[in-house]
Amino acid sequence: MLKDRRILITGGAGFIGSNLAEYLKESNDLVVLDDFSLGKKENLSGLDVEIISASILDDSALNSIEDVDVVFHLAAVPGVQDSIERPLETSMTNFIGTVKILEMMRKKDIPSIIFASSCAVYGNTEKVPVDESTCPEPLSPYASQKLASENMIKNYREIYGIKGISARFFNVYGPKQDPNSEYSAVIPKFIRRCIEEKSPVIYGDGKQTRDFVYVKDLVRALSLIAEKLPDEHVFNIGSGVETSINELAETIINETGCGKEPEYREKRAGEVERSLADIGHIKGLGWKPEYSLKDGIKETIEWMRRSR
Ligand SMILES: NC(=O)c1ccc[n+]([C@@H]2O[C@H](COP(=O)([O-])OP(=O)(O)OC[C@H]3O[C@@H](n4cnc5c(N)ncnc54)[C@H](O)[C@@H]3O)[C@@H](O)[C@H]2O)c1
């Protein structure tokens, strides 16, 4: 486990960032940089972290950051749909924001960065499971912004010697994921509907698949990457298990005890049919997922019930 470092987490008040802060806080000194556009103060309550409430695009905030050993760069506008509606504004945060973080690191001699990339960079791949050597085919501005950030991180590695690694997250879920946001992921949406004794809504026939990775498994993988700083510059992080939306709905209906059947609506345009990570690469570092979907869902339901 990563120890005795001073760590900057951008986007640290968000879902994944605050789970990462919780995991790292015992043994490290943490600084969170977040503009609270999507993140929440309560996600960090009870955690002993320094908070800089500012945008990653704010030069004076970036200048104020001192003595950091490693950056976890998670700040982003994460919605695919939002990026389609606002390609320029989202590129400012999701791409220029990454360049600004890298420039700050270059000026301040910060040696390493772990970047929150996405399986979206792969697009609609024919072959599953998808491994890191698959040629990316981004299908949205969001995916292009992530891929451009990955490439820039690679440039900074080769030209300026900053060790940068991009972690391509598959579908992450768990406590602190916002069920109310317009861009909410399927798991918190289904759980909320089931807790309210309503049917989960499935678009299409529900046979489409995803690779759901529990946030506590994901943050362990991120910490391990930062600790080992391997030479590879891209890692998939998923569960390595393919789950259909029908299976997911059934698990959530059973675990919440909601007596409803799913409600089916028309398939949404542009949805990926199958998604599954080849996690051989990250397993080679000594990581493997510890949570089954059922166990992760149980903890998430408990958290959602407590926080209502
Ligand atoms: N949740 C997933 O399944 C998933 C999958 C793939 C990749 N990711 C990536 O992981 C990262 C974290 O995602 P999340 O699910 O925790 O989302 P989130 O919305 O909960 O967290 C993003 C955080 O970034 C902050 N932020 C946004 N713009 C900012 C700016 N200009 N300056 C400073 N802070 C800013 C938000 O306030 C928020 O706290 C993102 O980069 C996202 O693209 C997430």
Each domain of the chain, given as residue ranges in start order, spans: 6-172+212-239+279-283, 174-209+242-274+291-306
DSSP string, 184-203: --HHHHHHHHHHTT-PPEEE
CATH code assigned to 174-209+242-274+291-306: 3.90.25.10
Catalytic annotation, residues: 142
Which ligand 1 atom sits nearest the alpha carbon of residue 93? 31
Question: Which residue from 41, 99, 169, 222 has its CB within 8 A of the most atoms of ligand 1, so it is best to mutate?
Answer: 169
Nearest CA to ligand 1 atom 5: 169
Atom of ligand 1 nearest to the CA of 39: 39
Contacts of 161 (CB under 8 A, 6+ apart): none
Q: What is the pLDDT of residue 183?
A: 61
Residues linked to residue 8 through DSSP beta bridges, in sequence order: 31, 71
The phi and psi torsions of 58 (rounded to 5 degrees) equal -90, 110
- CB count, 10 Å around CB of 29? 16
Q: pLDDT digit of tens for each residue in the chain (308 aa)? A: 899 999 999 999 999 999 999 999 999 999 999 999 999 999 999 999 999 999 999 999 999 999 999 999 999 999 898 999 999 999 999 999 999 999 999 999 999 999 999 999 999 888 899 999 999 999 999 999 999 999 999 999 999 999 999 999 999 999 999 887 656 789 999 999 999 999 999 999 999 999 999 999 999 999 999 999 999 999 999 999 999 999 999 999 999 999 899 999 999 877 888 999 999 999 999 999 999 999 999 999 999 999 87
Q: Would the pTM count as exceeding 0.85? A: yes
- Nearest C-alpha to atom 23 of ligand 1 is from which residue? 11
Question: CA 259 to CA 93: how far, in whole Å?
Answer: 42
In the block, residue with structure tokens 């996690």 = 279
3-state secondary structure of 237: strand
Ligand 1 pocket (Cβ < 6 Å) reads: 10-11, 13-17, 34-39, 55-57, 74-78, 93, 97, 116, 118, 169, 171-172, 185
Q: Which residue has the tokens 């600790």?
A: 227
Structural fold of domain 6-172+212-239+279-283: Rossmann fold (3.40.50)
